Structure 1
Amino acid sequence: MDAEPTAERLFTVAFVPGVTLAKWSKVWAERRQDLPLGFAPTAEAEQVSMLHDGTAQVSFVRLPVDSAGLSVIPLYREIPVVVLPKEHELSLQETVTVAELAGEHLLQNPDSVPEWRDVADEIRDGTRRPLPDIRTGDDAAELVAAGVGVVIVPQSVARLHSRKDVVARPVTDAAESQIALAWLEDNTTPDVEEFIGVVRGRTARSSRAPQEEPEKAPPKERKPQQKPKAKPFTPRQGRAPKKLGKGRNRGRGGRS
Structure 2
Amino acid sequence: MPASSLTLGYVPGGTPAKWARIWAERHPDVPLRLRTVAAADAADEVRAGTVDVAVLRLPAETSGLAVIPLYEETTVAVVPTDHILSAADELTTADLAGEPKLLPLDDVVDWADAPGAPVDHRPETTESAVELVATGIGVLIVPQSLARLHHRKDLTYRPIADAPACPVALAVPDGPQSALIEDFIGIVRGRKPGSSRAQTQPTPKRTAREKTLAKQAARAAAGKVARKPGRSRGR
Question: After TM superposition, is the score higher than 0.5?
Answer: yes
Aligned pair 1:151/2:140, yes or no? yes
Aligned to 1:248: none
For the pair 1:69 / 2:64, whether they are aligned, the reply is yes
Equivalent residues of 2:110, 2:166 under 8 A apart: no
Q: Is the 8 A contact 1:98 1:115 kept in 2?
A: no
Q: Which residue of 2 aligns with 1:184?
A: 173
Deviates further, 97-106 or 84-93: 97-106
Confirm or deny that 1:114 pairs with 2:112. yes
The 3-state SS of whatever aligns with 2:55 is: strand
Pairing of 1:94-109 with structure 2 (within 5 A):
94-108=89-103
Q: Which has the higher helix share?
A: 2
TM-score (norm 1): 0.73
Q: Which residue of 2 aligns with 1:92?
A: 87
TM-score by length of structure 2 reads 0.79
1:49 aligned to 2:38?
A: no
Q: Count the aligned residue pairs.
A: 211
Contact kept, 8 Å, 2:59 with 2:110, in 1: the verdict is: no
Q: Is the 8 A contact 1:193 1:209 kept in 2?
A: no
Shift of 1:192: 0.5
The answer as to 2:221 corresponding to 1:221 is: yes
Using the aligned pairs only, state the percent identity. Answer: 40
Query: What stretches of structure 2 of length at least 5 have no aligned partner?
Result: 204-213, 231-235
Task: Give the counterpart of 1:195 among 184, 196, 213.
Answer: 184
- The one of 140, 147, 150 aligned to 2:129: 140
1:83/1:179 CA distance change after superposition, 3 Å: same
Q: CA contact under 8 A between 1:115 and 1:174: conserved in structure 2?
A: no
Q: Secondary structure at the match of 1:64?
A: coil
What residue number does 1:26 align with?
Answer: 21
**Residues 81 and 141 (structure 1 numbering): CA distance in 2 closer, same or farther, change over 3 Å?**
same
Over 6 Å off, 4+ runs? 217-220
Contact 1:140–1:151 (8 Å) recurs in 2: yes
Q: Deviation digits for residues 133-175 of structure 1, max 9, x if unmatched?
A: 332x321211001011111111111111110011100000000
- Hey, what's the Cα distance between the residues in 1 that align with 2:119 and 2:6? 44
**Aligned partner (choices 78, 97, 100) of residue 83 of structure 1:** 78
Partner of 2:207: none
- In the alignment, the residues of structure 2 paired with residue 131 and residue 48 of structure 1 have an alpha-carbon distance, to the nearest angstrom, of 28
Structure 1, unpaired ranges of 5+:
1-7, 229-256
Which of the pair has more CA radius of gyration? 1
Q: Secondary structure at the match of 1:44?
A: coil
- Aligned-partner SS, 1:221: helix
Q: Does 1:11 align with 2:9?
A: no
When structure 1 is superposed on structure 2, of 142-151 and 178-187 the one drifting more is 178-187
Which deviations, in whole Å up to 9, do the C-alpha atoms of 1:163-192 show, x marking residues without a partner?
001110000000001111111114621111
- The question of whether the paired residues in 2 share the 8 Å contact of 1:13 and 1:40 is answered with yes
Q: Deviations over 1:62-93 (max 9, x none)?
A: 11122211111101111111000111101000
Change (3 A) 1:29 1:209: farther
| TM-align CA RMSD | 3.1
Q: Which position in structure 2 is the counterpart of 1:237?
A: none
2 CA distance for matches of 1:192 and 1:115?
Answer: 38
Quote the offset at 1:208 in angstroms.
6.8
